[in-house]
Chain A
Amino acid sequence: MRLPCPFCGARDLSEFTCLGSVAGPRPDPNVEGAPEAFYEWTYLRDNPAGPHREYWYHGQGCRAWLVIERDTRTHDILGAVLAAEANR
């Protein structure tokens, strides 16, 4: 598997580290039902068999955080953007 870094181009998997699913924004700790929201945010996963958005860190390259969409059944890469841009 080679990952297409927006800065560096297609690079070998060994240069990257995977953090896991893009989970959405951290819950607000000050609202009603915050413990339940934190439980779901921290522990529960969609774990799809198919397209999956996840954070990768290009530690052995440009050291950027990326959001990569990847098919978990085939390892095909469907898209890659800088995490800073994906969350904008």
Chain B
Amino acid sequence: MRYSLFTLAKNALGGNTAWQPQWRDAEPRGGYDVVVVGGGGHGLATAYYLAKEYGFTNVAVLEKSFIGSGNVGRNTTIVRSNYLLPGNIPFYELAMKLWEGLERDFNYNAMVSQRGVLNLFHSDVQRDAYARRGNAMRLHGVDAELLDRDAVRKLYPFLDFENARFPIQGGLLQPRGGTVRHDAVAWGYARGASARGVDICQNCEVTGFRIEQGRVRGVETTKGFVGAKKVAVAVAGSSSRVMRMAGMRLPIESHILQAMVSEGLKPFIPGVITFGAGHFYISQSDKGGLVFGGDIDGYNSYAQRGNLPVIEDVCEGGMALMPAIGRARILRHWGGLVDMSMDGSPIMDATPVEGLYLNAGWNYGGFKATPASGLCFAHLVATGTPHAAAAAFRLDRFATGHLVDEKGAGAQPNLH
């Protein structure tokens, strides 16, 4: 389905009955060059770039539910590349550049809005840490501006600058950061992949791998055996469950991350703001709802729902930062299943099983990585060698000691 003023007018006059589905809802065939397990943002992006950049069109995406039903449809839509470590910055900056050209690339409106991401600091030491981060970003060619208190006040006069415990001293701004319409990212990639011949198979759960002499031959699914020369797994919070079927134990714990949306309000928060003295981040959707979240709950969970203490903690952070939102009511809240890795950074690598590739460990920040994750994973699967921007995300780095630990928290996922 393609869109134009003409199709819009035609369908408006025709009672909107002639719109076609945006992608083909396929049934799995017997065999493929590549089977992508997981129809989330990363899996669909991988299939899209496999077809578009690497010429693999005999590809299937197997999704146990409907596409975009997991984390790509339940995040806070923020994109940014304000990282510190050399292994991370080039990768997330690649993602940022892909976001900037994404709508033109897949010809679909993903509402990419570079409204700026501002991280506030509340003490001298925190300012120094943010200055260091900003310098690291600029050395890698990423935009970063250290704002003093007056500059922040000019941007966001409604913040509580005089808070007795955590007065705002300034912030680190990445002007190119912002938000993207998350569902449209899944739909756009699905449409682009499908148009290039990729089979998108929904309600098709992978129940096992067929591995012969150390090489993957395909996957068993609820719709029968699907043969594959290569299998690429991108299943986020279900990574441990899926890879266990291939006999692997991963450096990953599945946790719960909650987010909330308020009732719709008139526009008053133009960008993305994060509180530096607690964990609270907020933006306002184009529909008017305040979209906000904070820490993960801190215990293993597959329940896709969280508990009230974290909601209370998040809301306390919000009230300390911007008391003006205190009267807004929370309209809905939800929990996502996040794959917390042991150093807070992702894993994108070949596995000991030949032809089986893993893309996992995105912690609470997988959405912003979606385009680069898809491109780099497609590169890895197509060529067998890691993409230069994702070369640090090795599976064996935990054994060799080459960790990429932004926070220095160690193998304690609930502290990342």
A61 in contact (CB, < 8 A): no
B69 in contact (CB, < 8 A): no
By secondary structure, the A interface counts as: mixed
Interface size, chain B (Cβ < 8 Å): 25
B250 in contact (CB, < 8 A): yes
Interface size, chain A (Cβ < 8 Å): 26
A20 in contact (CB, < 8 A): yes
A39: contacting residue among B241, B254, B300, B398, CB under 8 A: B398
B299: contacting residue among A42, A47, A54, CB under 8 A: A54
CA of A73 to CA of B399 in the docked complex: distance in angstroms? 30
Q: How far is the CB of A22 from chain B (nearest CB, A)?
A: 11
Contact residues in B for A43 (Cβ distance below 8 Å): 251, 342, 398-399, 411
CA of A17 to CA of B414 in the docked complex: distance in angstroms? 10
Smallest CB gap from A17: residue in B: B298
Contact residues in B for A21 (Cβ distance below 8 Å): 253, 300
Please report which residues of chain B, range 225-257, place their CB below 8 angstroms from some CB of chain A when the two chains form the complex: 240-241, 249-254
A13 in contact (CB, < 8 A): yes
A-B contact number at CB 8 A? 67
CA of A49 to CA of B251 in the docked complex: distance in angstroms? 15
CA of A44 to CA of B252 in the docked complex: distance in angstroms? 7
Contact residues in B for A36 (Cβ distance below 8 Å): 399
Scoring A residues 26 to 59 as 1 if CB is less than 8 Å from chain B, else 0, what string do you get? 0000000000100110111111110010100000
Q: Is the CB of B251 within 8 A of A72?
A: no
Q: Is the CB of A45 within 8 A of B253?
A: yes
A74: contacting residue among B303, B307, B411, B412, CB under 8 A: B303
B188 in contact (CB, < 8 A): no
Smallest CB gap from A52: residue in B: B300
Scoring B residues 309 to 349 as 1 if CB is less than 8 Å from chain A, else 0, what string do you get? 10010000000000000000000000000000010000000
CA of A70 to CA of B303 in the docked complex: distance in angstroms? 12
Scoring B residues 240 to 282 as 1 if CB is less than 8 Å from chain A, else 0, what string do you get? 1100000001111110000000000000000000000000000
Could you name 15 residue pairs across A and B whose Cβ atoms are closer than 8 Å? A14-B309, A18-B414, A20-B253, A39-B398, A44-B250, A45-B249, A45-B251, A47-B241, A47-B252, A49-B241, A54-B299, A72-B303, A73-B303, A75-B303, A75-B307
A interface list, Cβ under 8 A from B: 1, 12-14, 17-18, 20-21, 36, 39-40, 42-49, 52, 54, 70, 72-75
Known: A20-B414, A43-B398, A44-B249. 13 other contacts (CB 8 A): A1-B307, A20-B413, A21-B253, A42-B411, A43-B411, A44-B250, A45-B249, A46-B249, A47-B240, A47-B252, A70-B299, A72-B302, A73-B302
